[in-house]
Structure 1
């Protein structure tokens, strides 16, 4: 069975609290006593073994990541299907985010964190040429990876067609488009965030119903994908709250 190592206090505790299949917990012999007691209590509840190790061993397990003295070994992160996301019953119109070949795990982790905070109903990523759910993504998401459903699809454009058939409006980001602060995201919507360097692919652009732009007056006419996604997600979030 494929395993992943999740590390860092918040990511590890989130994995334990959400009943991830934890096979082993590694604790540094220098971890603060209150944190040790907190994790030990959770380990007793979940019947998970604890292994006390030194920081050198934790460095090896986490590829020298910022483990904060704790790491847990879990089954690899699982994905949901697009039909499962569409079948999810909520008391509101769904709001989805589509990531068109995002490659940086820092960006995916950041977007997951924002998506959880804003109540996004699901994220769609491609199976190829894009970052997947990994321990680095889990660390950056600070536990949000446990709460936001992620669907992995073979073809983004086919997924968009399925969303349109289900009544969704598709929005994208481009240098030319409507000012994002004027975006009304009410109704079933999906927001496409493009690749860090190439943006949204030409084929996917043809599927988008409306383009949104983030006005910029500086010398660098682009934003980090995670930052751009956060601005757009929260504009959508706020527009949906007004009058609700």
Structure 2
């Protein structure tokens, strides 16, 4: 068993929603709150409807609950959710091959190569949710693979980490090859690529985001069918990786909206 701490209105609300959708079988949740305002009262009502125990306390006790969290996540804003959970596979974890067996005709996959900062991963997850990405792929090694249990990611993603399907793979190059065999076109994001304005995404598209410092690894870049860049006019080298992912996913989503078969 492990106890996870959730702060931030969005992350707490999404955890309660997921708890309700899972028939309350895998977690023991409790909400602690102090000086409830309108937003907290709304969350408390959702928690009580779900049968979650809510306890009023003071700010000092909430501070002790979040003391072990990263600094940014300690801003609890008067409410903290604790979750005692089994160490088991998360409900939105998937095996890549199994996911592909039921993959929709139009699908968007995002692959992270060397992106390890939890704030960036959380922001990318939020864009994945908002722009209809169907799957996020991360490497087992050198990555924050425990996405669902990372408080910073949960907070930055505004709860999207609980919903976006996630595949953790041992080898990104092999994962890209499997996607290509399943009919995916692989797009690598890099400043030296073709302009996004001239890019028409395929029905099945995988977008690879590399680390800000080193970009994609050479072996993975060789798997790409196309390299895409975002036209900019700034003075610095490039966009933050999470911002770049959001721009690419928006354009992909915009193109999907032009297709009658779009599900989002």
Q: For this pair of structures, how many residues does the alignment match?
A: 242
Partner of 1:82: 96
* Structure 2: distance between partners of 1:136 and 1:243: 36
TM-score of the superposed pair, with normalisation by structure 2: 0.84
Q: CA separation in 2, counterparts of 1:52 and 1:129?
A: 40
> Is 2:34 aligned against 1:25?
no
Q: Where does structure 2 lack aligned partners over 5 or more consecutive residues?
A: none
Taking the aligned partners of 2:179 and 2:241, their CA distance within structure 1 comes to 23
Pick from 153, 159, 170: which aligns with 1:143? 159
> Following TM superposition, by how much is the alpha carbon of 1:25 offset from its aligned partner in structure 2, in angstroms?
2.2
Matched, 1:116 2:137: no
Measure how far apart 1:189 and its partner are: 0.8
TM-score scaled by structure 1?
A: 0.90
Q: Is the 8 A contact 2:185 2:202 kept in 1?
A: no
Give the aligned partner of residue 3 of structure 2: 3
CA deviation after TM superposition for structure 1 residue 22, in Å: 4.3
Shift of 1:225: 0.5
Verify: 1:237 aligned to 2:250, yes or no. no
Retained in 2: the 8 A contact 1:25–1:70?
Answer: no
Counterpart of 1:44?
A: 48
Q: Give the aligned CA root-mean-square deviation in angstroms.
A: 2.0
SS where residue 132 of structure 2 aligns?
coil
Matched-pair contact (CA < 8 Å) for 1:8–1:139: yes
> By how many angstroms is 1:96 displaced?
0.5
How far has the Cα of 1:89 moved from its partner?
5.0
Deviations 1:49-91 (A, max 9, x none): 223332233233233522122222233672222124323454x
Structure 1 unpaired stretches of 5+: none
Equivalent in 56, 60, 63 of residue 59 of structure 1: 63
